[in-house]
Amino acid sequence: MKEISSFLLVWLTALLSFGQTDAAKKDTLFEKSVNGLVRFYYDDHYYLVDKDCAFKSIERLSQFIVAKNAFHGEFKDFDRNGTLVLTGYYNEGVKEGDFKAYHPNGTLKWETTFKENRPSGDWKYYYPDGKPLLTVNFDSTAGTISSFWDRLGRQRVVNGEGNYEFKMPFEFYNEYGFPFFERKGKIKNGLPSGYWTTNMVDEKNKKVLFTEEVYDKNGVLTEGFNLFQDRSYRVPLTIVPSQSFVIGERMLFKACSFDDYSGFNAYLSDKLNGAFAANPSFQNTEEDFAYRVSLSKEGEPELITLSQPLKTTALNKYLEMVVKDIPYYFPSLDEQGEPIEDTLTVSGKLRVSEAGVFNFHSLKVEREKQP
């Protein structure tokens, strides 16, 4: 994942003034459209991708103020079938007025109103059949749940009081290999209260208890315990749907590979950086490294070896310890989309600053058998 805001200013200036540049032809993240609009290309998490990338899912038509690196005026987002999925308005990069999102079948998915870049009043969510799902109120500083209906149409939360049980997808890679998590507990005064649980959920709706939590009367987490990692925590998972469209405002770019798209490379970089504290003994170095993983079709690593150790040999044993602590990789797929055994080569770079701060970056995953 790369922040492209700095070169976006130069690139867009050239693009809007003189037409498409040679650089844009190599990696087209946006291009001129009609009536002074610009067409942006995103994946479904709102990271910019090349227009021909297999993970391109959304196209945005909007005015764009190059000098302020900001969207302006009404915008419309369309999926790969040309169906409208989101519309709203920016005033020089600031969200203002009504925003509406749509399900693939064209029914309203959610609607809210922004004032000076913040949601105001009710944020209403709907099921694909048009029935109400959830209402989150933003009259106060933090959002509160005022209403919730389950899939059978039963209202479970009324005026901020009731029982809440909602399944949400993991947006990116997680170490546990589950695509969904389910949050369950009581709502009081619009906030979580008392005992709450999180279940991991697989494609067949099999559930495994993941966390247990306790909230006080003000909706503040007082106890949280991760059963998978056998440790306490203080920052809980969300209890309402997250909205990735705001990522599009940051102009972040992802390379066109599954491990970039899925968030695995970003996860691995964060894991390595978190494991290595600053150490003044190691300064001003830039080194390459690589390791190989024999992977089962379930995504479980069976053998890990350093194929290109760091030149600073004292660091290799720590590097090996960290990568052997990764319990799950996305499995490789054959031409029919079925998981297969494979061997992965994970490569990257380590940069150590003058202060001894470690930065693992430019992670790349190569799969031997996946076409």
The first and second tokens of residue 254, run together, are 């992802």
What pLDDT was estimated at residue 175? Answer: 87
What pLDDT was estimated at residue 1? Answer: 54
The first and second tokens of residue 101, run together, are 């999102």
Highest mean pLDDT among 175-179, 186-190, 311-315: 186-190
What pLDDT was estimated at residue 22? Answer: 43
Instruction: Judge whether residue 51 has pLDDT over 70.
Output: yes
Report residue 20's pLDDT band, with 50, 70 and 90 as the boundaries. Answer: very low
Of the candidates 72, 74, 75, the residue with the CA atom closest to the CA atom of residue 91: 72
Instruction: Judge whether residue 3 has pLDDT over 70.
Output: no
Percent of the chain with pLDDT over 70: 93
Q: Cα separation of 140 and 160, whole Å?
A: 13
CB atoms within 10 A of CB 108: 14
Average pLDDT estimate for 18-39: 74
Distance of CA 60 to the CA centre of its chain: 18
Q: What is the pLDDT of residues 303-334, one digit of tens each?
A: 999 999 999 898 999 999 999 999 999 999 98
Report residue 230's pLDDT band, with 50, 70 and 90 as the boundaries. Answer: very high
> Which residues have a Cβ under 8 Å from the Cβ of 62 and sit 6 or more positions away?
37, 38, 40, 71, 72, 73, 74, 75, 76, 90
Distances (CA, A) of 191 to 142, 149, 160, 181, 218: 10, 16, 7, 19, 7
Contact 112, 121 (CB under 8 A): yes
Report residue 14's pLDDT band, with 50, 70 and 90 as the boundaries. Answer: very low
Across all residues in the chain, what is the average pLDDT? 91
Average pLDDT estimate for 15-40: 71
